[in-house]
Amino acid sequence: MRVLVVGGAGYIGSVVTRILTQQGVEAVVLDNLISGHRESVPQSCRFVQGDMGDAGELDRVFEDGIDAVMHFAAHSLVGESVENPAKYFDNNFAKSLVLFEAMRRHQVQTLIFSSTAAVYGETNTSPITEEHPLNPTNPYGESKLAVEKAMKWYSRAYAFRYASLRYFNAAGAFDAVGEDHSPETHLIPIALQVAAGQRDELTIFGDQYPTPDGTCIRDYVHVADLADAHVKALRYLCDGGDSVVFNLGNGTGHSVKEVVAATERVTGKKLPVRIGSVRSGDPAVLVASSEKITRSLSWTAQLSSLERMIGDAWNWKQKYPRGYSFRGTH
């Protein structure tokens, strides 16, 4: 089997690529490297630097023979999406349609889509199931939902079979792949930057939420668990499974203060913390239920204890303190 991994030089996509390769699947990576890292792609994989919005480039890739597509190529900063929605609808939605049309031209009908639990918007329900109303509160979530809607209609009209996987926060590290964004906006890597002396302090955005310790609770899943779910979903579709939507969650969630405390335990470092203003639109609790995928595909978040995720990320950071900077391709 030959699988095109679009966005395969990104954090989650590159881990999926490694697991596919370990399982004997031929992975072809397409990435424009705007936020991905060439160094994260295994040398054994064919790498194409290109954009999924380039129909000609897609045709050249598909002409070599592709059996399925895994789609990770999205902008994902919520704040930026509010400030610049055009960027998000162009890349996340419009360019996805270019990809889908290339799949149609080359009769590729199997698609795994990296979606987001942000399609649910703000909710008082916890954990969130796949049946929860879809009401995104920012252009990022809206653009992902638009892709999901397009896939539904493509599935009906063109016999596409897809799996859309909705999750919140990937964490941890796998093999030589870790989390390295610029700018970094995610809590765990920011906490580790503070522990490593690369930031002066960590800001907690509000501590008066209706949660046990007053800080927001979020869902974290180990990046290797997420990758395992994507590969299981691919196997499911290749075995004839129908189009499906799955949440991927740890079932409980962790507060900001719990993440800080766990980071201090793992690293042995005391983190300077400042309480900042509440960010607009930050719900108190966001946790996704994964019962459906557990029942259907026997998937569980086996590596997603907080200490394991932080520990793996810390080990990666100690090995590569400046991330992918000044590293050779491996």
Instruction: Please state, in angstroms and rounded to a whole number, the distance separating the CA atoms of residues 107 and 100.
Output: 10
Are residues 93 and 28 in contact, defined by beta-carbon separation less than 8 angstroms? no
| Dihedral (Cα; 221, 127, 266, 180), 10-degree rounding | 40
How far apart are the C-alpha atoms of 304 and 268, rounded to whole Å?
A: 20
Q: Which helix (H) or strand (E) holds 70?
A: strand 68-71
Selected catalytic residue, list 11, 88, 120, 140? 140
User: What Rg, from alpha-carbon coordinates, does the chain have?
Assistant: 19
Angle, alpha carbons 141-142-145 (nearest 5°): 90
Q: What is the DSSP-derived secondary structure letter of residue 325?
A: T
- C-alpha pair distances (Å), 262 with each of 1, 35, 256, 304: 41, 28, 10, 13
Q: Which two tokens stand for residue 169?
A: 């926060």
Count CB atoms within 10 A of the CB of residue 324. 18
Q: How far is CA 22 from the centre of its chain?
A: 20
Q: Catalytic residue at 167?
A: no
Catalytic residues: 140
